[in-house]
Structure 1
């Protein structure tokens, strides 16, 4: 296999987000609107959530759960204080997109935070920049062209600052319906495979893909999560894992997509059984969502106690699975010996 040239800044910063074995075991705490809605639901009073509550929750998660993790994905809107509370040596990923998507136009169009740039994210301590993109590979060509150009611009901006670009595509199809339902579960494997293939292309400048698993575990026959309606057999599900993985020519990690921690663990076990070459996880709600009612009802001290017990156990259980089956991020390139780390020429504009 031919050597791959990776700029030094990107290489070292991906390493900063990974453990000593090159596996990324990151905690996702960049939820904004969804966290606020979950807190409102836990209160059961309809009372609004104060920004201070979001900041306190995020700070507690960063303070406790980064000790067993290798990195944290945190937003600047409510997470600035949390960054300083993370465990020493923990990598920092910062999101660059607005929370949610444009509901006034067709296609779930993305948008960037208007008061930030990649340079400003770097100045805030980012080791990597993350973009979430809703993507339907079978959507109208003009919609996907806009989204592809959007990713190209972010990729170029990250390349100019020599910082890794983590892309999180989320599959959807408004003509099919809810992404968690049976109908979408049937087509999900091809949607995930298609976007992994597309955004592995060099033109986008993506360094790590943060992807969904290509199946929905509750529709996998023979699993503990099985709901009784089968979209795939266990063998078919494993083949979907392998097919999607083979489409990627960039390192990829799995996101938890808000499922319960025991479901996500079983999902990763199936990925390992399939021999999937994933390089870690960026896991959010699966590890800490049960702490939301604890915080809402009993405050931050109770939350920290819960995180130090159950939250840490959740992370450690995931880490055990990663040790069994996750591959170093450089595996897709044939091994670290096939990476040539180069010093790019960085042009610094006048200030």
Structure 2
């Protein structure tokens, strides 16, 4: 099995992600892969079945005190992703509403850089703003923190084609369905571009519940991350057992969520202003 939280050899991560891609690609509309953990064969295999989104950020984060400062995998990461066949570029950006001005400026400049390069080469730019805590704000309020960050992003007027929003309702936070729906309506009015819900490691049942509210508020889809495959990783390197676990437990979830997208999700062809 893969041991999360412990060092795993790079080659093993690549093999595992290739296996997950082979299993999922025929059943989804797109897969997102980290540039550092994929190769030409994996990317080509994905593109035979679905769209390819490439994440170009560096997976290890630099710290300025308690604050996260992001960077690209390398200076030519966007060009490499495009050469490998990327249909869209994703930037996951860690943001904190209380971060000092110089940290916020660095993060916004990185977002601007990736957006501008995507615009130059004609590929969609996807932004995934991610919340994080510091030792001094362990009692933070993710839903309201996310609202503040969406306002910060909107005020930059940086062109964004799609935004992936993490589920701010964690296992420790509960609220009624009507309240969650109203929350996502307020959030959606500030996003001003198509957006989808990101699992961000949340419990699948909690994610499904939040996703229903998000669809009613204007979300256009979902992106399932490690919440969808983490349990199956317990069977790695037994490829057959990994495949069996995903087919028996995750495929029914994906089918159910896709039905919800078709029934309630906002079409990407709906008139929505691109953030710019």
Q: Matches of 1:58 and 1:262 in 2, distance apart?
A: 24
Shift of 1:150: 1.6
What is the CA distance between 1:324 and its match in structure 2?
2.2
- How far apart, CA to CA, are the structure 2 residues paired with 1:145 and 1:300? 44
Rate the CA distance shift 1:117–1:69 in 2: closer, same or farther, 3 A.
same
1:201 deviates by 5.2
The answer for the alignment partner of 1:280 in structure 2 is 221
1:267 aligns with 2:210: yes
Give the match for residue 82 of structure 2. 122
Partner of 1:208: 162
CA contact (8 A) 1:214 1:244 kept: no
The higher radius of gyration belongs to 1
The CA distance in 2 between the partners of 1:131 and 1:69, in whole Å, is 21
Is residue 166 from structure 1 mapped to residue 126 from structure 2 by the alignment?
yes
What do residues 179-207 of structure 1 show as CA deviations (whole Å, max 9, x unaligned)? xxxx32xx222221222233345742211
Following TM superposition, by how much is the alpha carbon of 1:102 offset from its aligned partner in structure 2, in angstroms? 0.7
- From 327, 330, 339, give the equivalent of 2:269: 330
Instruction: Count residues in correspondence.
Output: 272
Q: Which residue of 2 aligns with 1:64?
A: 23
Q: Which residue of 20, 26, 34 corresponds with 1:75?
A: 34
Separation in 1, partners of 2:23, 2:261: 20
Matched, 1:252 2:161: no
CA distance in 1: counterparts of 2:211 and 2:157, whole angstroms: 30
1:295 is displaced (CA, Å) by 1.3
Deviation at 1:87, TM superposition (A): 6.4
Candidates 15, 34, 48, aligned match of 1:88: 48
Secondary structure in structure 2 of the residue aligned to 1:199: helix
Residue in 1 that maps onto 2:151 = 197
What are structure 2's unaligned runs of at least 5 residues?
none
| Kept in 2: contact 1:65–1:308 (CA 8 A) | no
Q: In the alignment, what sits opposite 1:32?
A: none
Unaligned runs of 5+ in 1: 1-37, 178-182, 221-231, 340-351
Displacement, 1:41? Answer: 4.9
Q: TM-score, normalised by structure 1?
A: 0.71
Higher relative contact order structure (alpha carbons within 8 Å, sequence separation ≥ 6): 1
SS in 2 for 1:254: strand
